[in-house]
Amino acid sequence: MRYPVVLHNIEYAGFGAIAPDLPHCHCYAETLDGALQKMAETIFQRLEELRRAGEPVPKPQEMDSLKENPAFAGGIWAIIDVESA
């Protein structure tokens, strides 16, 4: 599955990232590349947690609809592709 993620540059502190479609799925890293790598790992872990708990795995939304949310204004958007089991 391909999950949209949004990253924000936190002045003097690095980058925060969230996957809007996956509750409780966020991370932080000092660099943009680091945040993308850590976000991929975090998404994979979150999907595994949902599967183990027998909960449904949320389908990714279209990035364009997510971009309309003012909470994500000024963010850097990316797609994280994770294999579904």
Q: CATH second-level architecture of 2-72?
A: 2-Layer Sandwich (3.30)
Q: Are 53 and 69 in contact (CB under 8 A)?
A: no
List pLDDT tens digits, range 16-39.
999 999 989 999 999 999 999 999
List pLDDT tens digits, range 50-83.
999 999 999 999 999 999 999 999 999 999 998 7
Domain boundaries, the chain: 2-72
Q: Are 36 and 78 in contact (CB under 8 A)?
A: yes
Q: What is the DSSP string of 22-82?
A: STT-EEEESSHHHHHHHHHHHHHHHHHHHHHTTPPPPPPPPHHHHHT-GGGTTPEEEEEE-
